[in-house]
Amino acid sequence: MRKSSVKKELLYVKIAKSLEQQISIDLLKVGDKLPSIRMICRQHGVSMTTAQFAYYELEAKSLIESRPQSGYYVSNTFRRRLAIPGISMPENRKPVRGDDIFEDAAINAAEKNFTVFSRGVPAMALLPIAKLNKAAVQAVRTLPGGGTVYESLKGNEKLRAQIAKWSFNWKGNLVEKDILTTAGCMSAISYCLMSLTKRGDKIAVESPCFYGILQLAHSLGLQVLELPTSPQTGVDLDGLKKILRKTKLAACLFVSNFSNPFGSLMPDENKKEAVKLLAKYHLPLIEDDIYGDVYFGDRRPVCCKSFDEEGIVLLCNSFSKTLAPAYRVGWVAPGNFMEQITRVKLFHSLSGTSITHEAIGSFLETGRYEAHLRKLRRVLHNNYLQYVRVISEHFPEGTKISRPQGGLSLWVELPKQTDTIDLYNAAIGKKITISPGSMFTLQNQFNNCMRLSYGLEWNDKTENALKILGKLAKG
């Protein structure tokens, strides 16, 4: 008998669906108390963590609520379901610049005692600082000259070897020679754009798109065409086909796994079709996979690079969103464009930072990275579910949110009359930072939207700040 190819459903999802069905048919009515976490563990033979995640899932849908020292109850607000934002429809008219808010947001994100919903990195408490410190000390001891000597132009050998091994998790099958290290993912993307384009060229990106990419493209004198994008499945392939038929592009740049800020995940078949389509036009794809390891499901998603048979995909990544933001350890697997990318690196940086690159290479070599990621994914998923619960209870009627399956970004669409620049300014007064939606486009759109990062520690301060934000949004 042939094995089924259907993916096994996660245990906590099964438990949550069973309880949700009981609520939907009024077997469990509004106000009814649910079994305790311990009772769920005994009934289903699962761990405390699994039972808690089942209840977090139901909380995120506003189906149940927690009452201190009492337990979980069917919520009287469960009929209020937050809708998902629609597909973006950028018009690609004359660009609207947003440098002022971009610079202001960067400054405010560094303020002490602020609740920073605007910074898309995990909180320091979620990172393995002590283990990284040990790896850095060991790197100083083992590297030539204590790490003061220039390393190979292609980068730290140990790091590249470990990245190549890690690529088998997403069917990349890279080898050490395929990889060039960089000072973070943005450095890798910069090298790719400088190698593939010249001033005045056109590139196509998702819409909304990470503001750092938009600012970089502008600094290089590039024209950016924004593509229709779904908050669930990423770039709309029909929209891409239309652009390709009528416009000469120099490159495309996609975040295929858990995009920033939508959190969208391109299905495997879409990735495969996109690569095939771009290969037909001999058009390179710069793929930013910086969030690929932070998935909430039971497997790591593949990349567009996984389907690249022609060498047209330049895969960029780093450890800034998972392990050590300030270490600036990134890399690129540029396919057919290795010679051009290497030349640009030579001109712009010559060598990486030996100590931090060696330290990350050692961290991967010991197997600690996967153990750290498992814990990080659980925490971030829990954070996301808590955000959904608070937003559903405290934000204005008509609020819509994305449904990320990984990453660090939650996209929030408020009622049309809300201006998130005004909300940003009001939140600053309460020592809270957000990322207004207008930062993620060069067009006049997303003015009532914002990105929230759920990379913070979930505690009373974070929850209260989110409630305050909801109150401010109500006006």
Give the mean pLDDT of 352-363: 95
pLDDT of residue 80: 58
Give the mean pLDDT of 162-170: 96
pLDDT of 411 over the 90 cut? yes
In this structure, the number of other CB atoms found within 10 A of the CB of residue 13 comes to 15
Q: Where in the chain is the domain with CATH 3.40.640.10?
A: 128-369
472 — pLDDT class (breaks 50, 70, 90): very high
In 3D space, the residue among 453, 471, 472 whose CA is nearest the CA of residue 387 turns out to be 453
CATH classification for the domain delimited by 128-369, as one of 3.10.450.630, 2.40.50.140, 3.30.1370.160, 3.40.640.10: 3.40.640.10
β-pair type (229-230, 234-235)? antiparallel
pLDDT of 76 over the 80 cut? no
What is the distance of C-alpha 434 from the center of its chain?
A: 16
7 — pLDDT class (breaks 50, 70, 90): very low
Give the mean pLDDT of 1-14: 56
Q: Convert the pLDDT of each residue in 224-258 to its tens digit.
A: 999 999 999 999 999 999 999 999 999 999 999 99
The C-alpha atoms of residue 205 and residue 187 are separated, in whole angstroms, by 18
pLDDT of 8 over the 80 cut? no
pLDDT of 56 over the 80 cut? yes
Residues paired with residue 226 on neighbouring β-strands, in sequence order = 205
> pTM of the predicted model, to two decimals?
0.85
Regarding predicted confidence, which is higher, 26 or 246?
246
393 — pLDDT class (breaks 50, 70, 90): confident
pLDDT of residue 98: 57
Task: Kindly indicate whether the domain formed by 11-74 is annotated with CATH number 1.10.10.10.
Answer: yes
Question: To 10 degrees, what angle do helices 99-108 and 420-429 make?
Answer: 30
pLDDT of residue 389: 83
Q: Convert the pLDDT of each residue in 304-331 to its tens digit.
A: 999 999 999 999 999 999 999 999 999 9
In 3D space, the residue among 15, 117, 12, 23 whose CA is nearest the CA of residue 65 turns out to be 23
Q: Where in the chain is the domain with CATH 3.90.1150.10?
A: 99-125+374-474
What percentage of the chain exceeds 70 in pLDDT?
Answer: 93
4 — pLDDT class (breaks 50, 70, 90): very low
C-beta of residue 304 within 8 angstroms of C-beta of residue 270: no
In 3D space, the residue among 385, 415, 50, 441 whose CA is nearest the CA of residue 208 turns out to be 441
Protein fold of 99-125+374-474 = Aspartate Aminotransferase, domain 1 (3.90.1150)
Q: Convert the pLDDT of each residue in 101-118 to its tens digit.
A: 766 766 666 677 899 999
Q: Convert the pLDDT of each residue in 179-237 to its tens digit.
A: 999 999 999 999 999 999 999 999 999 999 999 999 999 999 999 999 999 999 999 99
Q: Convert the pLDDT of each residue in 416-426 to its tens digit.
A: 999 999 999 99
Q: Convert the pLDDT of each residue in 118-128 to its tens digit.
A: 999 999 999 99
Tokens of 107: 């400054």
DSSP letter assigned to residue 322:
T
Q: Where in the chain is the domain with CATH 1.10.10.10?
A: 11-74
**What does pLDDT average to over the chain?**
91
Q: What are phi and psi of 48, to 5 degrees?
A: -60, -40
Give the mean pLDDT of 406-410: 96
Give the mean pLDDT of 139-168: 94
